[in-house]
Amino acid sequence: KTNLIIAIDGPAASGKGTLARRLADYYHLPHLDTGLTYRAVAQMMLSKAWSLDDDSRAIEAAGLVDLAALDREVLSAHEVADAASRVAVIPEVRRILVEKQREFARRDQGAVLDGRDIGTVVCPQADVKLYVTASAEVRALRRLRDIEGRGGHADFSEILGDIKKRDERDMGRADSPLKPAEDAHLLDTSEMSIEAAFRSAKNIVDDAM
Ligand code: C5P
């Protein structure tokens, strides 16, 4: 299948991003990390010192998001992630970003998209849907190792608290809450290596092709 669409959803630090990149690489598909689009809105708000409660500014920022100019490095900051989950509750912001994400998925070479609402809202027609989870403790530990691996310092319980807060915001919002699509394959990576998670996802995709 040449225009294969793979939808990957899951909470923060579940490993969905790594999995999405590995699958995109393996199947030679373009990849969009949709979290970056919400982060780009947040980053613009923060850099212009716009209040995160100013919906009309957030909507303006969403309109300016350019998928070709998303920079992972710039958008990786922890404050940006938290602010992203705040602007992500605004329905008009979501409508604008979802339209851009769908455009990416509509191109005819297929795509891997990862986020929170890909299987449920952005690409409900996806060929394969994966819902990637891991316990909050495992996710916090992975994030901690990640930060330490890059020479930084962080506090485990603080990271765990942040992850739980973001889970609550993402799962509890009215518009497009994080939840598995009915036809999603669940992948709990709590006790899986990246390699094992990749093999198991690859088997699911191969079965669907
Ligand atoms: O995936 P990432 O951690 O980069 O996403 C940042 C925030 O953007 C999430 O916590 C979530 O609130 C929001 N988001 C979303 N829908 C998506 C992707 C991200 O609401 N499809």
- What are the chain's domains? 5-201 (3.40.50.300)
pLDDT of residue 158: 95
Q: DSSP readout, the chain?
A: --S-EEEEE-STTSSHHHHHHHHHHHHT--EEETHHHHHHHHHHHHHTT--TT-HHHHHHHHHH--GGG--HHHHT-HHHHHHHHHHTT-HHHHHHHHHHHHHHHHSTT-EEEEESSIIIII-TT-SEEEEEE--HHHHHHHHHHHHHHTT----HHHHHHHHHHHHHHHHH-SSS-S---TTPEEEE-TT--HHHHHHHHHHHHHHH-
pLDDT (tens, 9 = 90+) of the chain, 209 residues, equals 669 999 999 999 999 999 999 999 999 999 999 999 999 999 999 999 999 999 999 999 999 999 999 998 889 888 999 999 999 999 999 999 999 999 999 988 999 999 999 999 999 999 999 999 999 999 999 999 999 999 999 999 999 999 999 999 999 999 999 999 999 999 999 999 999 999 999 999 999 98
ipTM of the complex: 0.99
Can you give the pTM of this predicted structure? 0.96
Q: Specify the residue with its C-alpha closest to ligand 1, atom 20.
A: 88
Residue of 21, 67, 85, 133 to test ligand 1 pocket, by largest number of atoms within 8 Å of CB? 85
